[in-house]
Structure 1
Amino acid sequence: MLRNEGDKLSRVVVCTPKDEYFNVKNLKEQHIHRVADRYKAQQQFETLKSIMETCGCEVINVPELANHPNSVFTRDTALCTPQGYIKLRMGLAARRGEEKWMAEILESMGEPCAGEINEPGTVEGGDVILAGSVAFLGMSKRTNEEGAKQLAGILSKMNYEIRTVIVQPPHLHLGGTMSAVGPEQVLCCRDMFPKDFFNGFDTIDISCRGSSNGNVICLGDNEIIANAAENAEAIEALEKKGMIVHGIDLSEFRKGAGGPTCLVLPVERK
């Protein structure tokens, strides 16, 4: 069950890069900037998993989907809610098929399906952040108006208040601009959002520099994982608020246009 991304992280699905992430036939089609270094990427990923496990999170590792180098970015494939998972529909055509793959994984874990995004709608998980009674939803290159409408309909029935914003370049997803870092606390690139967008939340404001400046993983209990190379401003702001920040190197996944949260599909928070 997951209602608030600011709660303690207790169960996730990840996909360790083994072969597919390094076997990119068409960089542009896959929206991957450069092919990652295998050894470095795997070491970085092991560090990420180790920190989550040390903090008491169950880490479920699944094999990559054949011919899908982006399958390491599990966050985008589904959305877990208090009533089960929502099967999304990828905005990047080359990623289509990952939704079915993840749906089968989640159902094998006993997660019921709470809804589905249908064509022509598209929604990627990086554009949705659940925060208690509020669902923050970004419309982007990957999440279109029809997809946002369908998702809003599903989440409204779960009593979420929907707050929607258009994600501006160079950000790929909403998750590049904001993250829940506590039950009622949000890290955000403040200038990207309307003045009243975060009413009811304590905000930690940072600049809009970079495409993933606001992207961090909330572990719960005031602990955070951040990309040390790109989240320096966020790390400083979070530490000033008394949070423990695990700054790790995830540079090999920036080559695939992914931030910390992209690598983790949260299934349960308590």
Structure 2
Amino acid sequence: MFVRNGTSKLKKVLLCPPTYLNEAAPINEISKKYAGQPLNKEKLTTEFEQIVSAYQSAGIEVELQTPTPEMTNAVFARDFGGCVKEGYILGRFKKELRFPERKAYADKLRELGIPKIAEVKEGYFEGGDFAFLTEKEIAVGIIDRTNQRGFEELRAALTPLGYRVYPVPADPRYLHLDMCFNLVADHLAVAYREGLPVAFLELLKKLEIEIIPVPEEAIFKHGCNLESLGEKRVLSLKQNQTVNTQLREHGMEVIELDITETLKAGGGPHCMTFPLARG
């Protein structure tokens, strides 16, 4: 078994150092603000070491991808696909900047012995849009980087395995589903409620998933981009003080990361993490 759901004990992750991330490419609403400005390499490296250390301190094994010069945004390891208990689904990037990552990550998962159970070949699908709700319910954002065709390919692959896959359309400015919705524990999520479709909110209610609400501006400050470690633990950002306080009030242990430079490229802790084993 590889990844059973989104909130059970996280055991192993795949990360990629920001070796060739020199500047923020203007490919999302956040990175557009910093386009053309060089990123602080020393700070990027320190921030990456911090997230590696956080995982290792929590008893989680860290595998590292080795980037090549053309893999500038590979630090956001989440996006090449999704992982379920049977194996992984290889996605298909929308932005040319990220094309070289697809084969590199597929090669890495082959090296790690994780089977590819499906591949999106015609549409677009990125892992930031992939979210477990329960062990058998999966939400898929149709926002900016995953389209309807990609969703249909994904659903066609997962339905025979017993998964129920739900589309979650939202404003393209939100980039990925994990920027505006994130399940942090069983029956607990952080989300910008007003930006999510009514059908999805009704599904969350049916599944008895409580929402810690965030305002729309929090999306662009990575207020939802959290990573569940299981056992009521979550990785968040130090700057997310309001969200972090609410999480603690719900009995969560919040591990704060002082990451700011990496965020300028458009992703946070959840974007940087591809789960390999969880159960």
Range into which the TM-score falls when normalised by the shorter chain: over 0.9
* 2:81 corresponds to: 78
Measured at CA, do residues 63 and 188 of structure 1 come closer, stay the same or move farther in structure 2, by a change above 3 Å? same
Q: Is the 8 A contact 1:179 1:188 kept in 2?
A: yes
- Structure 2: how far apart are the matches of 1:13 and 1:114? 18
Query: Which structure 2 segments of 5+ residues have no match?
Result: none
CA contact (8 A) 1:187 1:204 kept: yes
SS in 2 for 1:2: coil
Q: Give the Cα–Cα distance (whole angstroms) in 2 for the partners of residues 41 and 92 of structure 1.
A: 22
Match of 2:266? 257
Identity of aligned residues (%): 27
Q: Which residue number corresponds to residue 28 of structure 1? A: 26
**How far apart, in 2, do the equivalents of 1:169 and 1:240 lie?**
32
Structure 1: distance between partners of 2:159 and 2:87: 14
Match of 1:200 among 172, 196, 207: 207
Match 1:180 to one of 179, 183, 197: 183
Q: Distance in 1 between matches of 2:253 and 2:92?
A: 35
Question: Higher mean Cα deviation, 159-168 or 140-149?
Answer: 159-168
After TM superposition, the structure 1 = structure 2 runs for residues 28-107 of structure 1, keeping only pairs within 5 Å, are: 28=26, 32-33=31-32, 34=34, 35-107=38-110
Could you tell me whether the CA contact under 8 Å between 1:30 and 1:70 is conserved in 2?
no
Report the Cα distance in structure 1 between the residues aligned to 2:241 and 2:142, rounded to whole angstroms. 27
Correspondence for 2:217:
209
- State the partner residue of 1:3: 4
- CA contact under 8 A between 2:18 and 2:73: conserved in structure 1? no
Equivalent positions of 1:153-168 (< 5 A) are: 153-168=156-171
Q: Which amino acid aligns with 2:152?
A: K
Q: In the alignment, residue 207 of structure 2 is paired with which amino acid?
A: G
In structure 2, the CA distance between the partners of 1:30 and 1:171, relative to structure 1 (3 Å rule), is closer
Instruction: Please give the alpha-carbon distance, in whole angstroms, between the structure 1 residues aligned to 2:26 and 2:84.
Output: 32
Which stretches in structure 1 are left out of the alignment for 5+ residues? none
Structure 1 residues 29 and 170: CA distance shift in structure 2, 3 A: closer
Post-superposition shift, 1:29? 5.8
1:15 maps to a residue whose letter is C
**Distance in 2 (alpha carbons) for counterparts of 1:165 and 1:268:** 25
Asked if 1 retains the 8 angstrom alpha-carbon contact of 2:144 and 2:173, the reply is: no
Sort the Cα spacing of 1:233 and 1:152 in 2 relative to 1 into closer, same or farther, 3 A. farther
Residue 157 of structure 1 aligns to a residue whose secondary structure is helix
Per-residue deviation, 1:169? 4.4
Task: Give the TM-score normalised by the residue count of structure 1.
Answer: 0.92
* C-alpha distance in 2 between matches for 1:264 and 1:253: 13
Provide the residue aligned with 1:108 in structure 2.
Answer: 111
Tell me the TM-score normalised to structure 2 length: 0.89
Q: Which residue of 2 aligns with 1:267?
A: 276
**What is the CA distance between 1:93 and its match in structure 2?**
2.0
Tell me whether 206-215 or 126-135 shows the greater mean CA deviation.
206-215
In structure 2, the residue matched to 1:239 is 248
Q: Is the 8 A contact 1:189 1:213 kept in 2?
A: no
Tell me how far apart the structure 1 counterparts of residues 180 and 25 of structure 2 sit (CA, whole Å): 24
- 1:123 aligned residue: 125
The C-alpha deviation readout for 1:120-165, integer Å capped at 9, x for no partner, is x000000011231110110011101100111111121221111211
Q: Distance in 2 between matches of 1:137 and 1:227?
A: 24
Root mean square deviation, CA, Å: 1.7
Q: Contact between 1:204 and 1:237, CA under 8 Å: does it hold in 2?
A: no
